[in-house]
Amino acid sequence: MAEDGPKPLQLNMPLVLDHNLTRQMRLRVESLKQRGEKRQDGEKLLQPAESVYRLDFIQQQRLQFERWDVVLDKPGKVTITGTSQNWTPDLTNLMTRQLLDPAAIFWHKEDSDTMDWNEADALEFGERLSDLAKIRKVMYFLIAFSEGLEPANLKASVVFNQL
């Protein structure tokens, strides 16, 4: 049987917790509370169970989404939402219109050995990442943790084929 040709090189690109940006967004929430002010119209404030992650595109050209590689080390659920925000040093506020649809949702039930996920939406989101990689050096994500999960319980990456 003949080979179809060489397999494309796969790049496993991890989502990395952006501690500084998460801290800055939490400070924004605290600052508003202390001053008794409200958020700007349309502003997305970081919730306590949300953190900011980033994906640094190593090779920006010719990436094709292959799959999500998400591991939760205990039962719970994470929702990964991409942002169109390109944060600048002045840390402009994140607006809800900058959150991309669809989100990728992954969950691990207590009585199950397998990871479940919203496959169609997660695949569509992943395919959009291939397009964004052509124009971005970095991509930011809001990851919401629920059912007792926190960043220490998550290991997530996106696998691309390099064409």
**How many domains does the chain contain in total?**
1
Among candidates 97, 88, 79, 83, which has minimal Cα distance to 129? Answer: 83
151 falls within a domain: yes
64 falls within a domain: yes
Q: How many C-beta atoms lie closer than 10 Å to residue 45's C-beta?
A: 17
More confident residue, 57 or 16: 16
Among candidates 46, 75, 19, which has minimal Cα distance to 142? Answer: 46
**CATH code (residue 52):** 2.60.120.390
3 falls within a domain: no
4 falls within a domain: no
Amino acid at 150: E
Where in the sequence is the domain holding 47, given as residue range(s)? 10-162
- Dump pLDDT digits (tens) for 30-72: 999 999 999 999 999 999 999 999 999 876 667 899 999 999 9
pLDDT score at 114: 86
Is the Cβ–Cβ distance between 152 and 76 less than 8 Å?
no
pLDDT score at 85: 85
User: Considering the entire predicted model, what is its pTM?
Assistant: 0.90
2 falls within a domain: no
The tally of CA atoms less than 13 A away on the side-chain side of residue 132 is 21
14 falls within a domain: yes
97 falls within a domain: yes
- Dump pLDDT digits (tens) for 82-140: 998 887 666 678 899 999 999 999 999 988 888 899 999 999 999 999 888 888 888 99
